Amino acid sequence: MDGITAFGMEVLGSMALSTVVLAKLQGRLQRVGAEVCGRQAGAEFWVSYTQLMMFIAPLMLIAFFSRAGNPALAGTVEQLKSSLLLLMAGQFAGLVLMGRAVWKSIPRNGASLLAGPAPDKGAAS
């Protein structure tokens, strides 16, 4: 496999994987963003920022560390293993950064942003 094809496949694979991850997290990102920000405009900004970073972080890793076209990776299997490692490391880095940002926004008084609304205490009476 030539270097340009391998690099192109890494970029396309990264974008496809980022799209799948964001599709899975989209609803949760909206809810957490709305709860943390308290305003729709703020939530929209941070959700958009997160979506961009989930594409940019993996692509940056590929741009810096891709070994596409490296003569030491003469075999297709070695190239695919290297590419897969890079794709997964990029997604992991993006998710870690996103998780860290959400974790830091959770109030420390024991309330959970992800637990949903508090039960109505008057309804049980």
Q: How confident is the model at residue 119 (pLDDT cuts 50, 70, 90)?
A: low
What number is the average pLDDT over the span 57-65? Answer: 85
What does the H/E/C string look like for 86-117? HHHHHHHHHHHHHHHHHHHHCCCCCCCCCCCC
Domain chopping of the chain, boundaries: 3-105
- Whether this prediction's pTM lies above 0.95 is answered by no
What number is the average pLDDT over the span 3-9? Answer: 82
What number is the average pLDDT over the span 93-99? Answer: 81
| Whole-number Å distance between alpha carbons of 19 and 59 | 13
Q: Which two tokens stand for residue 107?
A: 């109030």
Q: Which two tokens stand for residue 71?
A: 């003569």
**Which of 49 and 120 is assigned the larger pLDDT?**
49
